[in-house]
A and B are shown apart, each in its own frame.
Chain A
Amino acid sequence: MYMIEVNNVSKNYGDKVAVKDLSFRANKGEILGFLGPNGAGKTTTMRMITGFTPPASGNITVDGIDVVEDPMEIARKIGYLPEDAPLYPEMTVADFLDFMGEMKEVPARERRKEVDRVVAQLELGPVYRRLVGNCSLGYRHRIGLAQALLGDPEILILDEPTSGLDPRQRLEIRDLIRGLAGRRTVILSSHVLPEVQQTCERVVIINEGKLVAEDTPSGLAARLEGQSSLKIRTRAPEDRATSILSGIAGIIRVTSDPTGGSREAPAFVVEMEAETDVREDIFFRFAGEGIPILEMTPTGFSLEDIFLKLTTEDPGRSEERREEATES
């Protein structure tokens, strides 16, 4: 059985569609990465899984329990770190964690031990007696994470757990989350791709509230692995060049690149089949037509490109990015 099931969930805020007909699953004990650009609906989805906001349609079950029907039982199972780690600034770290432990039904006798455990795990010792509001952003984030870990919940929902942290802290949090794998089911959101790639076993990519892809990081990469593309600029009208390029075996797709060329010498991005090199074919074909090739640059796909490809509707942007990558 799946630990978390999201079935055809939609949610609007007024006229704005936040999530539209979204479905995905999380297996027990896996770390699921939830990826998407800012405003894609990640936070809304996580709030719905925790029961904080109800879905407008569709349903979500956590360990077989519907989140709308029994929010209390859901709350017992889930540790939640909301975006930007909201905390009570006027409390000391010690009081805050004790209070949260109390709310999470950690028995009074064990609470001190439980607080000590998460304090040690997130190295909050130095700020233990300090007011939360006086802690640095990095500490505040870790306090938020410590709060989520209190009571040892089966499921962790972490909304951008590493945003606002410095690289060393990022690494530590990443290690910590990876250490939780197997025992707990973790859903973490991010808009930073490498982070998800390194931490998660599976990735769900959403954009504008809709599911774009659901796969393992390597599976996502494999989709486009070996496949490569070329940037080409020739001295021929656009439709002429397109028809010549389309006629070459091994070329999957030809898209025009309005930023890289001019009217007399338009630029194109040509995607090729895996492990084929059509550069010589292109050269001889254009040479045969008497059209000079002004530029031909091979470009590769990174996961960054996959992400941009999947999440940007405007094709110009991903091409721009690719161009930047080639130039640098």
Chain B
Amino acid sequence: MRKVWGITKRELMTYIYTPMAYALVAGFLMITGYFFSMSMLGSRAASVQSMLGNAGLIMVFVVPILTMRLMADEDKGGTSEILFTTPVSMGQVVLGKFLGALALVTGLLAIMLVFPLVVDQFGNPDWGIVASGYFGFWLMMTSFLAAGVFTSSLTDSQLVAGVAGVALLLLLWVIDWAAGSLGPPVGPILAELSITNHFVDFNRGVIDTKNMVFYLSLTFGFLFLATRVLESRRWR
């Protein structure tokens, strides 16, 4: 566990010392700020639900850019050779890197708390719904990040990892669009697979175990796949 923390610390430091994360965070906050202002001016409702819903879509593009270098860069720079010849397991590497990116995104969510605080100045937001929405958003992000770590483990090209990550998340985002026209039995399954459907309840203030299980299994599933991909190199 100490080694996992070491890797997490290193990844977080890399985000802090390189400009990429700042550009992404700034861009993301600008766009969510715009969403927030528009929904405030349009609906005059004391809530951040519409902003959070839209922010999820932006994260489909932001998260893969954050995670694309995590594994791909180790191969590209040859540092996988020094890292994987230390007594550290592939699972520890994957988990450490995932937690590093998660720490950054958690920090980003903390900054986003400014939106409900602004609402609080002028109205009475339902803090229960806000809390549930942010918690759901954070859970959704764990699955996004895990998917990004997975695509990054597939290639030594950051660009390919990023594009594959966006494609994978977009697919999971729109997968239920066909649900209505396909009908049972395929339709309901696709609807269940949708990465956004499970967030809707959270954003309404409902914390359903089913939705939590969905995001957590997606997260563990992708992290497990990433670990297996890395372990498979021992057989190549």
Binding site for B on A (CB under 8 A): 47, 50-54, 68, 71-73, 75-76, 78, 80, 82, 84, 86-91, 95, 99-100, 102-105, 108, 144, 147
For B2, the closest partner residue in chain A by CB is: A102
Decide yes or no whether B58 CB sits under 8 A from chain A.
no
Given known contacts A54-B235, A71-B234, is B6 in contact with A102 (CB within 8 Å)? yes
Decide yes or no whether B84 CB sits under 8 A from chain A.
yes
Decide yes or no whether B77 CB sits under 8 A from chain A.
yes
Decide yes or no whether B18 CB sits under 8 A from chain A.
yes
Binding site for A on B (CB under 8 A): 2-3, 6-7, 9-10, 13-14, 17-18, 77-79, 81-89, 233-236
Q: Are A105 and B87 in contact (CB under 8 A)?
A: yes
Given known contacts A54-B234, A102-B6, is B79 in contact with A88 (CB within 8 Å)? yes
Q: Are A103 and B88 in contact (CB under 8 A)?
A: yes
Q: Are A80 and B234 in contact (CB under 8 A)?
A: no
Contact residue among A73, A76, A80, A102 (Cβ-Cβ distance under 8 Å from B82): A80
For A103, the closest partner residue in chain B by CB is: B86
A82 to B84, CA, bound (A): 12
A105 to B86, CA, bound (A): 9
Q: Are B87 and A104 in contact (CB under 8 A)?
A: yes
Cβ–Cβ < 8 Å partners of B6 in chain A: 99, 102-103
Cβ–Cβ < 8 Å partners of A54 in chain B: 234-236
- 20 A-B residue pairings within 8 Å (CB atoms): A47-B81, A51-B85, A52-B85, A72-B87, A75-B85, A75-B86, A78-B85, A80-B81, A80-B82, A87-B79, A87-B82, A88-B79, A91-B13, A91-B14, A102-B2, A102-B6, A103-B83, A103-B87, A105-B87, A108-B2
User: Which of B17, B85, B234 counts the most A-chain CB atoms under 10 A from its CB?
Assistant: B85
User: Which of B78, B79, B81, B235 counts the most A-chain CB atoms under 10 A from its CB?
Assistant: B81
Main DSSP-derived SS at the B contact region: helix
A86 to B3, CA, bound (A): 20
Cβ distance B86 to chain A, nearest Cβ, rounded Å: 4
Given known contacts A71-B234, A72-B87, is B10 in contact with A86 (CB within 8 Å)? no
Cβ–Cβ < 8 Å partners of B3 in chain A: 102-103, 105
Cβ distance B100 to chain A, nearest Cβ, rounded Å: 12
Contact residue among A53, A68, A72, A75 (Cβ-Cβ distance under 8 Å from B236): A53
Give me 9 other A-B pairs in contact (C-beta within 8 A), A75-B88, A82-B81 excluded: A52-B81, A75-B87, A89-B77, A91-B10, A91-B17, A99-B9, A100-B86, A102-B3, A102-B6
A276 to B131, CA, bound (A): 95
Cβ–Cβ < 8 Å partners of B78 in chain A: 82, 84, 86
